[in-house]
Structure 1
Amino acid sequence: MKSSIKHRAARRARSIAIAVAGVAALHTAPTALAADAWPAKPIKVIVPYTPGGSTDTVSRVVFEQVSQRLGQPIIIENKPGANSTLGVGVAARSAPDGYTFVSVLAAYSANMSLYSKLSYKAADLVPVAEMAELPLFLFASKKLPVKTVAELVDYGRKHPDTLTFGSSGVGSSAHLTGERLAMESKLKLTHVPYNGSAPILPALVSGEVSVAFDPLLVPMPHVKSGKISVLAVASAKRWPGEPNIPTMEEAGFPGFVMSSWTGLLAPAGTPQPIVARMAREIAAATRSPEVTKKLTDLGFVPVGGTPEEFRKLIERDTRRYAEIVKAGKITLD
């Protein structure tokens, strides 16, 4: 009798296990099928900036290649406004079906501290992949008698309250990088924000601002012609195209890595197989000779990593920017 009871109990347990597995399969099957069929229609990538900017440029270069690999059109939709938060908010509220993504800059991490209220939370979006890094270089006006970062710091200490730094706007990567330099050097650097990066170069040439962190491409010809100086690059390694320019760390600022970046996010709930597939296609695109050359010629470093690597980058920069924003009492509210 006892054996019979045990036998029936074992059969009941197996039946329950099979039923549970069946229910789980029913829940996961649509996701698996959707991922297998993806993409079955055009994909939209929201760029929360105006056409022609760094995020827009990287997105168009990379997704032209990804589109060819996936066999579906990828439509770039520019939705600028509110330091990118408008377009990011639209993406966060989009259906997590693998057909809407958003390209972001490092400003995405900074905005978490610059705004007390956002229309989205970090949990509303998931990382897909970093696409490219944009190193920021420290440029100086020729009106300053300095050729190195050490000379700049020495000059600032001997001439207090005279140094200024320009940026493309309050809360930009260039602004927060300049604030970090002021904090770590213990110099007073007065911030001069401009409407975009275009006015910074003439301001450096004329001496309207003392220094500025900016990407290399546009200012470099003026360095070569002797109109401005370049002191260092705020990246982990020297820029391959200009190997004689030292890093900020080599110039005496340990751990001073503040390069901007461009990466892709998806609405939370997007099937993980789709996120992983898009990450792989981005990695393949950024490794292609055509995309590598285009991005490098524009001053970018192609990346193309995994979702987990991008998540760690976002979290690191969110913490880093939060410290700078708090210390500088910076807000965009």
Structure 2
Amino acid sequence: MSIKNSVARGARLATFAITGMVLGHTAFAADVWPTKPIKVIVPYTPGGSTDTVSRVVFEKVAQSLGQPIIIENKPGANSTLGVGVAARSAPDGYTFVSVLAAYSANMSLYSKLSYKPSDLVPVAEMAELPLFLFSSKKLPVKTVGELVDYGKKHPDTLTFGSSGVGSSAHLTGERLAMESKVKMTHIPYNGSAPILPALISGEVSVAFDPLLVPMPHVKSGKINVLAVASAKRWPGEPNIPTMEESGFPGFVMSSWTGLLAPAGTPAPVVDRMAKEIAAATRSPDVAKKLTDLGFVPVGGTSEDFRKLIERDISRYGQIVKAGKITLD
């Protein structure tokens, strides 16, 4: 064998050996992950929807993984601050970020973000958050059809509240106004808490909001509920029709919450976390907690979540463009 061939053969063997060590290390690392506490960034204040779901789900996941999962709240700029921090974090499997559907909407609401979708990888959806259409008792309507008729007979009188510009509730209200061809003036609030008293007092005509807080006031007769913007009726309130049943085909605008990881996070880690989330949301205790809070437990694969995010980027983008809505 020539010296040249011997050198080449030696180089190939060395490459094979290094590759084998790397592959072996990767497999080993995936098998033993996690070996230290995991951080989940929540880009909202404590006590909100994303924070609540994250704490319920990851308490269970932490038990299964055998490592603490630390929730770190980083609110600001409609969640973009915390998401940006996660996007710039090391993709080592120890940093994740929980997001709402606003993550998809922000891609259109801001002309420039500190991150792009390719900077993060979807892990799994955790829960769906159905939005219900509530109306003030000051408004003489009890169905979506009556709401539309009233709006057409009384132009420029309807208003709708939301938890802020660019929120799912805001964009859902904008979609209703567009599809019904009824003008409704948007009144944004600082979070969802002020919406209920605004509905009760008649400060706003209607609002899309999760079920938990307003529903007791429907029961006591202070406000009305007209419909739910999900594909199916809410099991706990089967008499409330969907928006589709109320004359708006394809009107499904439920929010959601899910987990992302920095791009480059090892695929085995992403898959493992997705499976742990699915197992947690299927467990009777977690499922009951989420359902009692007005959420639908989901779980699922990274690919399932990727498709959901891309669908909503497109769907919210159309509403934002048509309504000329911006957060810049």
- Number of residue pairs matched? 323
Give 1:207 shift.
0.7
Partner of 2:5: none
Q: Determine which of 193, 196, 217 is the counterpart of 1:198.
A: 193
Give 1:196 shift.
0.7
Partner of 2:278: 283
Give 1:34 shift.
1.7
Give 1:24 shift.
4.5
Question: Secondary structure of 1:229's partner?
Answer: strand
Gaps of 5+ in 1: 1-13
Tell me: CA distance 1:20–1:51, structure 2 relative to 1, closer, same or farther (3 Å): same
String of CA shifts for 1:148-197, please: whole Å, max 9, x gaps. Answer: 00110011111111100000100011000000001111110100001111
Q: Determine which of 105, 110, 114 is the counterpart of 2:109.
A: 114
Q: Determine which of 147, 154, 158 is the counterpart of 2:149.
A: 154
Partner of 1:250: 245
- Runs of 4 or more off by more than 4 Å in structure 1? 14-24
Give 1:32 shift.
2.0
Partner of 2:160: 165
Question: Secondary structure of 1:46's partner?
Answer: strand
Partner of 1:4: none
CA-atom RMSD, angstroms?
Answer: 1.8
Q: Determine which of 40, 58, 63 is the counterpart of 1:68.
A: 63
C-alpha distance in 2, partners of 1:324/1:26? Answer: 51
Partner of 1:32: 27
Counterpart amino acid of 1:78?
A: N
Partner of 2:169: 174
Question: Secondary structure of 2:126's partner?
Answer: strand
Give 1:36 shift.
1.3
Partner of 1:325: 320
Q: Percent identity?
A: 86
For residues 125-274 of structure 1, the aligned pairs below 5 Å read 125-274=120-269
Pairing 1:44–2:39 present? yes
C-alpha distance in 2, partners of 1:213/1:39? Answer: 40
Question: Secondary structure of 2:155's partner?
Answer: coil
Give 1:59 shift.
0.3
Question: Secondary structure of 2:325's partner?
Answer: coil
C-alpha distance in 2, partners of 1:183/1:16? Answer: 66
Partner of 1:104: 99
Give 1:128 shift.
0.4
C-alpha distance in 2, partners of 1:323/1:125? Answer: 23
Give 1:28 shift.
3.3
Counterpart amino acid of 1:178?
A: G
Give 1:37 shift.
1.6
Gaps of 5+ in 2: 1-8
C-alpha distance in 1, partners of 2:193/2:304? Answer: 32
Tell me: CA distance 1:151–1:18, structure 2 relative to 1, closer, same or farther (3 Å): farther
Counterpart amino acid of 1:175?
A: H
C-alpha distance in 1, partners of 2:215/2:73? Answer: 29
Counterpart amino acid of 1:33?
A: F
Calculate the TM-score normalised by the size of structure 1.
Answer: 0.93
